[in-house]
Amino acid sequence: MYGVILQLHMKLQDVDLAITRTIHIHKHATFRELHEIIQLTFSWWDAHPYQFHLHSEDLTGSIITNDIAKKTILGSHFEFENDCITYEYGLKKAWRIEIALQEIHLATSQLYPYFIEATNELAHHIIDKYEAVQFPFGKQRESQQTSLVHRLNEKVKHTIGQFPSGHWEATAELTWLSLQDMTKIYYDQKPWTTITTNEVFVIYDERFDEYLFCTVLGHDNGLYGLSVYKGFNGLLSLHTSLKNRLSMEQLFHIHDNILLQFDAKESSEKLIAPSFFINDEVSAQFTSYKPGYFPWNIDDEEVAMFTLAVEQTLQLFERKQAGYHIPNYLEEEELLLLSVHKDNRETRQTYVSFEHMIKKVLPIQLTLTKEELDYLKEIEQDEELSVEFSLQYINVPIQRLKNKRPFLPLSSVIVNQLTKQIIYHNIYNARLDYSIVQAEFMQMILSLGKLPSEIKTDELTYHYLKPLLLLEDFPVKIKNELHITHEVNQNVSQYLVMNSAE
């Protein structure tokens, strides 16, 4: 049912220290996808040519380059244990990696690709400036507290994506062509004539195991279309946008949604998002937003999700015309939950509160250890110390891999507000979450040795600190303007632009 998984062992050649990786990957993954994984795991930037050398009994072999790699699946060459290939990357003195098939497994409920073993990092060794591109990211503190395997899997999850083996079965039913057909019907029906933006409804489908928060656009403004927010981050960004709690720039950085908007034909030519013409005058534009990333094309899974959302919206539109009630989120703080069951495609409808929905999608919030919490409760307060503490995305998109969604660097700033001295600053290739914000807060207190009498932060950083504030009354206050932090991040932005990777 789940398919076949290959256990591949990768070893970097011609280095003194053993640098190895072992990964579980689906046999239908392509050589291009394996290339992208290699680039991530060895901290390269996909800046030079690469090729795979396929071994054969007569040792002549054959070569797979980029165009062929996109179409060739791993299972066509990794068929038996100890089957081996060589990967080469670079120009003058190319890096070489030997890749061998160790075992073949039946897939489980695990998300793939997934690293299971790793030894040593390349970043600590000599790197030929002609053969690898480095970028000025600091080494975040939390990386010293987590295993190399965990960090590698985080890279894959955020840059390439990890999916269950049966992922393609779900998306195969709902293709780009079927989405176009549903979108044309959506435009013709014009559900925004009846459903307002504030009438939020939620779709849960067992195939995706994800909550989709939907708002119909066009009833109250000139933007016509549909916005589908995904999971916890989606609910957070939808909630804050409806409540006007964050600035437009902050919302841009945390949005986790797929946006359909209808535009006049002449304006659509300026957009890069996937689009098609509804008629001679109107085009439909699709854009994917993810927290900490640049807006990008929708992927296969998002096509499937959005097709489902359009289908359910049209059905709900018919019921609304017949008098069905959809709660106004701002007035009633309730949402309509539509649960789609895959066996009979039946849709169940219930009303849920915002608090109830948060409990369904809320991730683990408190990430500090008991020892760290005990330390924070006992720490003395320095009455003369006031700081700005903030983690914010820098609006400089950086493309880690060719043809992959660019990310936004995360800047962590801690400054003494009285002296304007920078206590700590770093930029990370990481996504904003509870773990990194609370770890930075803890490290700030450890570095200072005392608790500041006032800790000024922004709305978004405050959200990720809130679990700590529920346990202890730390002097954290939200400020609309963090002047010193803003100046630091402006300088970082200029520096990143001047030193951006090719």
188 pLDDT exceeds 50? Answer: yes
Q: CA–CA separation, 267 vs 276, rounded Å?
A: 13
- For 127-256, strand residue ranges (E) read 163-164, 201-205, 210-217, 224-230
Give me the pLDDT at residue 125, please. Answer: 46
pTM of the model: 0.83
**What are the φ/ψ torsions at residue 138 (nearest 5 degrees)?**
-70, 160
Q: How many CB atoms lie within 10 A of CB 363?
A: 11
SS3 469: helix
5 pLDDT exceeds 50? Answer: yes
Same domain, 149 and 173: no
Euclidean distance between the first and final Cα of the chain, in Å?
42
Give me the pLDDT at residue 428, please. Answer: 85
Same domain, 51 and 155: yes
- Which of 142, 163, 184 terminates a domain? The answer is 163
More confident site: 242 or 77: 77
230 pLDDT exceeds 60? Answer: yes
Domain extent at residue 96: 4-163
3-state helix, strand, coil in the chain (%, to 5): 35, 30, 35
What is the DSSP track for 225-238? EEEEEEHHHHHHHH
Give me the pLDDT at residue 127, please. Answer: 46
More confident site: 230 or 135: 230
CATH classification of the domain holding 108: 3.10.290.30
Residues 6+ apart with CB under 8 A from 490: none
Which range has the worst mean pLDDT, 101-105, 354-358, 359-363?
A: 359-363
250 pLDDT exceeds 50? Answer: yes
Same domain, 259 and 327: yes
More confident site: 335 or 364: 335
- List, in sequence order, the alpha helices (H) in 226-273: 231-243, 248-254, 265-268
CATH classification of the domain holding 433: 3.30.420
Mean pLDDT of 146-175: 77
Same domain, 209 and 309: yes
Same domain, 206 and 220: yes
Mean pLDDT of 135-157: 69
434 pLDDT exceeds 60? Answer: yes
Tell me what the pLDDT averaged over the chain comes to: 86
158 pLDDT exceeds 70? Answer: yes
Same domain, 149 and 180: no
Q: CA–CA separation, 331 vs 237, rounded Å?
A: 18
Same domain, 342 and 489: no
**Per residue in 447-457, pLDDT tens?**
999 999 999 99
More confident site: 101 or 343: 101
Q: CA–CA separation, 179 vs 184, rounded Å?
A: 9
pLDDT band at 144 (very low <50, low <70, confident <90, very high): very low
pLDDT band at 60 (very low <50, low <70, confident <90, very high): low
**Per residue in 285-297, pLDDT tens?**
999 999 889 999 9
SS3 119: strand
**Per residue in 68-125, pLDDT tens?**
998 899 999 999 999 999 999 988 778 999 999 999 999 988 889 999 999 998 754 4
Same domain, 173 and 158: no
Same domain, 404 and 452: yes
What is the DSSP track for 275-294? EEESSSSEEEEEEEE-TTB-
Same domain, 206 and 287: yes
pLDDT band at 502 (very low <50, low <70, confident <90, very high): very low
- Which of 361, 386, 411 terminates a domain? The answer is 361
- Which of 163, 178, 210 terminates a domain? The answer is 163
Give me the pLDDT at residue 343, please. Answer: 63
More confident site: 142 or 32: 32
pLDDT band at 142 (very low <50, low <70, confident <90, very high): very low
Mean pLDDT of 459-479: 91
State the total domains in the chain. Answer: 3
Same domain, 191 and 337: yes
What is the DSSP track for 391-424? EEE-S--B-SSTTS--B--EEEEEEETTT--EEE
Give me the pLDDT at residue 134, please. Answer: 45
Same domain, 350 and 392: no
Q: Which helix (H) or strand (E) segment is 318 a member of?
A: helix 300-321
133 pLDDT exceeds 60? Answer: no
Give me the pLDDT at residue 246, please. Answer: 64
pLDDT band at 344 (very low <50, low <70, confident <90, very high): low
Q: CA–CA separation, 261 vs 275, rounded Å?
A: 10
Residues 6+ apart with CB under 8 A from 345: none
